Amino acid sequence: MEKTVVIKCGGSVLSDLSPSFFTSLQAMYEQGMNVVLVHGGGPEIGKMLERLHVHSEFVNGLRKTTKEVLEVVEMILAGKVNKQLVALLQQYGLPAVGVSGVDACLLQAAPIDLEKLGYVGKVVNVNGVFVDKLLQSRYIPVISPIGTDKDGQKYNINADTAAGAVAKAIKAAQLLFVTDVPGILRDGAVVEQATIDAIERMINEGVITGGMIPKVKAAIAALSESLHEVMIVSGKAPFYENGQLYGTTIRNEVGGLLMGALFPTYNRWNICVKSAEGTTVTDTNGKQYLDFVSGIAVCNLGHRHPAVQKAIEEQLNRFWHVSNLFTIELQEEVAELLVANSCGDYVFFCNSGAEANEAALKLARKHTGRHKVITFRQSFHGRTFATMSATGQEKVYKGFGPLLPEFVHLPFNDIKALENEMSEDVAAVMVEIVQGEGGVRPADAAFLQKIAELCKQYGALFIVDEVQTGIGRTGKPFAYQHFAIEPDIITSAKGLGSGIPVGAMIGKAFLKDTFTAGVHGSTFGGNPIAMAAAKATLQIIFQPDFLQEVQEKGDYFLARLQEALSEFKLVKEVRGLGLLVGIECGEDVAKLIPAIHENGLLVLTAGPNVIRLLPPLIVSKEELDQAVKVIKQTIQEVKTAAAK
């Protein structure tokens, strides 16, 4: 899929564009990018009005546009500036085509305030199909920001606003604002990353001054759920070389607000949560969503389950932390619940799935005296060095090498590859019953049985990573219980604490003497508040009737999705186990996810082309039906838009 970039050139910089600006565009175009230019022309409009002795009046930075002024605006933007810019692009061999927002009703407009501003318009709709057709033919559209309403009345539209609207309509990857400097400067150096908080501080500190202030505000205003990045670049120096853009990047992190003191390690959605209860999440704008993410398989009982909340509040009034040098009764009680509902005998508590898997790997190596660990491609086991080394996805460990040695990644569900690799130097085989992050790919029963058989034959430990699949997610306490296998070690986290951080490694009795005092530990492992949450959670989820309902709802949901989506060629397969479901599509789903969110359903991805669904286990059949309806409706909307 080609990357689309919208570039806004203000009138103040158009006369000073250097050859490097055009060579940057050449490089982008030759790299296969789709490029759209939206231009202004304020200075030229001002000069012409002055020559015609027509008074210019500005209200809140916008030029008041009478019918007389509108004629001049159209003449300058469409008749002069647009043609000059197209001619310059063509001189550099770029297939530019000039269009006005009036053409094909490209920019449908409505008045902002007729009385105060006259014929100054706001964009109410963009004919993105028209732009897409030009891009598909490898043209570079150069757009004059003049709009029209359904009656043919034309409007003068602010170029910043027009560029943002076009970028959103065509789902551009980035929007660039061209200025006369290479970005925001602090002490002469370019600020490469900026946030709203940081920008406000820099304005207050006098770092950002003068004409740069409206530019950064326009850039921030353009951010949306579908447009995650806006850049401020220079028209006087190269802004694209060797596949890299140069300037100041402003990223949309959450709720239209950027968090200035956080590392940008998450591709956050443009949703800022105000509250959550049961299966519903409400954002700061008051919009409600049916939550089929569940904190990524964490809130299995939904948000703020009253029994879990009560248990947490009661423990808060007792004690919060004393360390594992003391006996903590809640740890014993939660451990008993876990071993009573698994094939394990002893439990080690920690704070996350990665830590649980780390403990399992340490235990396997120490117990066997061996080092080699077999895992599988597209697996995900965590982001510590051991669990990252175990993970079979390059994107997780790329750039962090060298990884820990003697981790082997085999094809998933490939019995022959496993048989060829197994030997007496293997310490453990670690597998997910369903690869969650890897595309919601269930393991075959024969494959799991072969792992168990070969581990027993060669004296290796059989580890199942149940971080995402455990705690009732599939209709059993643990997903391995759907199959005739008994692992030596089970790891758990996510749903275990209903949102309070907690992880657990569960092992068989013969492993007890390997993990003795001082061999392994965790300061916060088994924290009393986490244990209170875990106990309340397990007491509900491990009830047989509750788990039976999860299985029934999972079967119902899978069948409903398969039936409803069978008409779409986009959908290749709907698969899953219990209430862990994936919809595999024939193309990248990154742009489909925000559309589903916009229609009121929270879902996430599992790799580039799979929509992952993780509803709370308390979800009703009516809510499952609603989710099916939203997904089908959204796919149909996308299909219809693509056909225009």
420, 433 contact by CB (below 8 A) = no
Closest CA relative to residue 325, chosen from 521, 165, 507: 521
- CA 570-574-579 angle, to 5 degrees, is 140
Question: CB-hemisphere CA count at 13 Å for 348?
Answer: 32
Using a 10 angstrom Cβ sphere, with 0-12 exposed, 13-18 middle and 19 or more buried, the burial of residue 395 is: exposed
Residue positions in the annotated binding site for substrate? 41-42, 63, 156
The Cβ of residue 416 has, within 10 Å, a number of other Cβ atoms equal to: 10
Could you tell me whether strands 248-251 and 229-234 are parallel, antiparallel, or unpaired per DSSP bridges?
A: antiparallel
Residue positions in the annotated binding site for pyridoxal 5'-phosphate? 353-354, 380, 465-468, 523
CA distances from 81 to 85, 88, 506 (A): 6, 11, 70
Strands (E), 380-457: 407-410, 426-432, 434-435, 441-442
Q: How far apart are CA 328 and CA 321, in angstroms?
A: 10
148: tokens are 């029209």
Q: What is the dihedral of CA 39, 42, 44, 46, to 10 degrees?
A: 160
224, 171 contact by CB (below 8 A) = no
Residue positions in the annotated binding site? 41-42, 63, 156, 353-354, 380, 383, 465-468, 522-523
CB-based burial, 124-139: b 16+ in 10 Å, e otherwise: eebbbebbbebbeeeb
Residue positions in the annotated binding site for N(2)-acetyl-L-ornithine? 383, 522
